[in-house]
Chain A
Amino acid sequence: MGVFWEAMSDLLAARSQMGVSLAFHIVFAAIGIAMPVLMVVAERRWQVTGDAIYLDLAKRWARGTAILFAVGAVSGTVLSFELGLLWPGFMRFAGSIIGMPFSLEGFAFFTEAIFLGVYLYGWDRVSPRVHRWAGIAVAASGAASGIFVVIANAWMNAPTGFELVNGQAVNVHPIAAMGNRAALSQTIHMTLAAYAATGFAVAGIHAFLLLQDPANAFHRRALQIALLVGAPAALLQPISGDLSARHVARDQPTKLAAAEALFVTQRGAPLTIGGWPDVAVGETRFAIKIPYALSLLAFHDPQAEVKGLDAVPRDLWPKVPAVHFSFDLMVGLGTYLALVALWAGWLGWRRADLAHNRWLMRALALATPMGFLAIEAGWMVTELGRQPWVIYGVMKTRDAVTPMPGLIVPFLTFTLLYCFLGVIVCWLLYRQILRSPAVPEWRRFFMPKGSG
């Protein structure tokens, strides 16, 4: 233990604590953005069709969302404090520049919490119309609060809206800071990711249950709604990824170089998939390389010059293997989701019975965690890829960290707390899924002819 104690510097402990806190919170935040949409769609279908299964679905989803939202709200609170607990240097410098989107996020989150209360507890207290609008308000403010927070993060990647004089920020323009060059691509990418990941996670769970009981009307309807939200987002995500990549290539070349394990600046740069980036030697071994593809993707020109890691001194390199693997993982998982979305869309367009297509159900069940893994990997790319900077080109992470020693203690404490909560949440959701209704009265409609 003593060795471990000393092996971890305070900076590493602070970064790890922030990383764990973000990785934990982002799952609940994404669910908080997308789940209200699923609930609202289910409720609306109930109001239009009068089919009580949709109402049951909306209520059961709401029950799960209540737990996830609460954990998201409290873990988000931890993050807002951790900005000061771990990174006082960052906050002292950046608070007045980039606090604005956080303030707006505060209001959006307020609206979200208020109408979630109305939604969850108001089934018998407000009219169906008001109830539906409360759900819509939750969905809209959830998306808005996510967007505001991502804008603040985008500023760390593309800082603007101030001038640097003797290490101090002057001529501060909070609105210009919010309009930074990374804001648009990052907010689109994250918002789509939230819908894709949540939609596919829900679809995956119900697909898994449909494998055992393809005629279950409850799960069939759930799958339909989840795919309705998740599949379009997963299909749009590669386009948004392209937008992000082009921004990163232009404004954060070192991050792109690390993500692509591109050590040498070159024209007609190849796309590097997998492999082992050997930082000491400066080459990536055992990788699949597609000629000209990186130049083509980053600048839409096969001969374009792509900056390699050699463009900056070694001490400004991020951890190349971690960024590269995370990037490949994100792209791989995203591609899988987009392909499954395409498959499901094709079958749906041909009016096939999705639930009886066992291979599609297997593919969906396999996809359950993939969207969230992709989100985690994507954040690893953007955060690790920015290192050693906390504000790109302006402030190093090590200059932002708190002077308090012994940071391994809070790191381990919060890690244990979150592991504990994560296990409990999974267990509670598992128990709830076990209680899914069988709805036998609908079975005969959904069995293949001759089997009933």
Chain B
Amino acid sequence: MTLADIVAGVVFVSLNAYALLAGADFGGGVWDLLASGPRKERQRELIADAIGPVWEANHVWLILAVVLLFTCFPPAFARLGTLLHIPLSLVLIGIVLRGSAFTFWRYGAHGDREQRHWGLVFAVASLITPLLLGTTAGAIAAGAVGDTGHAMGEGFYAVYVAPWLNPFTLSVGVFALVAFAFLAAVYLTLEAPDRELADDFRRRGLAAGVALFFVAALVLLLSRRYAPLVRDGLIFAAWAVPLHLLTAAAAVTALAALWYRRWRVARLAAAAQVSLILWGWALGQYPYVLPPDLTIAAAAAPAVTLRLVLGALALGAVVLLPSLFYLFRVFKRVERRA
């Protein structure tokens, strides 16, 4: 375990936190778009109240991952920015529209009908951003962001579009979307003020959980052709079987807990399930930061930078973690329902 490995691990922890927290905020937007039934407006209120106080803090996990990446693995960041320029730009537009539209909707005025337009922009942006984020992750996992595609003389499409636009990357995009929606539904069961509203999200959570299984199967199927490296890691490595067993156990627990209305257990298990999948991806492509050729060691900044950043991370964590804990305690503490 080198210094660079540790920092890479921290970057991934940050991405993991982003997926669990901001991912659920995006998922909330998806359920806003799909709000239906007699409690339609109450569903939307619940979602907005759940997202409101925390989405900006949740969003910072992505910024943290990005600044750590460009400080500690500059060549990886430079290559990502070059070859995935288009999907990353689209992700940014999604992030900008989602965040702005949400505050325009919630803070712009009091109960105007026109404000609902912003609610719609928020919801659509929440749907599109995870799709594109997942697509980007898919391109990395597929080993498409390699030095090979960079050769001169190749066409624009081959260099800047093909790496991220194929059935596999799109399936990863759908997977991210469904996973985020699943997390959101599970979290919302716990935050709903009454049984009926909780049951609305229970049904949604169960549906998303089952859908997630099928999308995962599709991703795995397509990875055979498009992402052999990560796939082989996920199947043949020594850690593969225990990891899959753990993931399956978490998935079954999440669904069973939803079924039996054990909301807290469901939240824990769903978060564990998504995290395990993410770490499976990370382990599958280790030691590469950008497969098939850029390793963590080769991309790493000089040791002095890594040491300083780790020091800053340790110091920052002393401030950050209690603050985050406090934020969630203030806004996410749920009174037990009778």
Contacts and interface: CB of A to CB of B under 8 A. Distances in A.
A and B: real partners?
Answer: yes
Interface of A: 63, 66-67, 69-71, 73-78, 80-81, 83-86, 88-89, 91-97, 99-100, 102-107, 109-111, 113-118, 120-122, 125-126, 172-175, 402-406, 410, 413-414, 417, 421, 424, 428, 431-432
A85 B68 CA distance: 16
Interface of B: 52-54, 56-57, 59-60, 62-64, 66-68, 70-75, 77-82, 85, 88-89, 92-93, 95-100, 102-104, 106-109, 156, 160, 301-302, 304-305, 308-309, 312-313, 316, 319-320, 323-324, 326-327, 330-331
Nearest to A173: B304
A320 B107 CA distance: 43
Contacts of B74: 91-96, 99
B319 A99 contact: no
30 contacts: A66-B106, A73-B59, A74-B100, A77-B96, A78-B95, A78-B96, A80-B66, A84-B77, A94-B74, A95-B71, A95-B73, A96-B72, A96-B74, A99-B309, A100-B71, A102-B71, A103-B313, A104-B312, A110-B320, A113-B59, A114-B323, A115-B323, A117-B327, A118-B327, A121-B331, A174-B304, A406-B156, A417-B97, A424-B104, A432-B109
Contacts of B67: 80, 99, 102-103, 105-106
A102 B70 contact: yes
Given A100-B305, A105-B67, A77 B312 contact: no
A417 B78 contact: no
B139 to A, nearest CB: 15
A70 B100 CA distance: 6
B93 A428 contact: no
Residue among A96, A118, A175 with the most chain B CB within 10 A? Answer: A96
Nearest to B96: A74
A96 B3 CA distance: 14
B78 A88 contact: yes
A84 B70 contact: yes
Nearest to B73: A95
Contacts, number: 212
Contacts of B78: 84, 88-89, 91-92, 95
Contacts of B324: 110, 114
B75 A92 contact: yes
Contact of A107 (B106, B302, B320): B320
B330 A122 contact: yes
Contacts of A431: 108-109
A36 B63 CA distance: 22
A105 B115 CA distance: 33
A406 B86 CA distance: 11
Contacts of B62: 77
Contact of A73 (B53, B89, B99): B99
Contacts of B99: 70-71, 73-74
A414 B93 CA distance: 8
A67 B108 contact: yes
Contact of B308 (A74, A91, A174): A174
Given A77-B62, A95-B71, A111-B319, A175 B103 contact: no
Contacts of B71: 95-96, 99-100, 102-103
A443 B336 CA distance: 49
B60 A113 contact: yes
Contacts of A92: 74-75, 77-78
A421 B327 contact: no
Contact of B309 (A73, A103, A114, A421): A103
A111 B320 contact: yes
